[in-house]
Amino acid sequence: MEQKFCKRLPVCPFFRAVQESEEILDVLTEYVQVYCCGPLQAKCFRIIHFDNYGTQPADDISPSGLDFRKYLNLKDA
């Protein structure tokens, strides 16, 4: 049976950062729905990075591989 939620969800720095954000942007919610709890889980950059290198990427790296803080900065610009 296909697992619905990513098994790393409880310890994922990206997910934690999204939860702790004062304002959660739509794009981040979308990431969580599509990657962490959805069909693109296996394509998550963080999972692929961990599987390939044995280490986590920086906490700000989103499942798409982009630094999600950039979205916040873009919004402020």
Three-state SS across 29-50? HHHHHHHHCCCCHHHCHHHHHH
Distance from C-alpha of 41 to C-alpha of 31, rounded to nearest angstrom: 10
- Out of 4, 12, 64, 71, name the contact with ligand SF4 by CB under 6 A: 12
Distance from C-alpha of 44 to C-alpha of 54, rounded to nearest angstrom: 15
Residue 68 interacting with ligand SF4 (CB under 6 A): no
Footprint (CB under 6 A) of ligand SF4, residues 24-43:
35-36, 41
Residue 9 interacting with ligand SF4 (CB under 6 A): yes
Rule CB under 6 A: which residues touch ligand SF4? Answer: 6, 8-9, 12, 14-15, 35-36, 41, 44, 46-47, 63
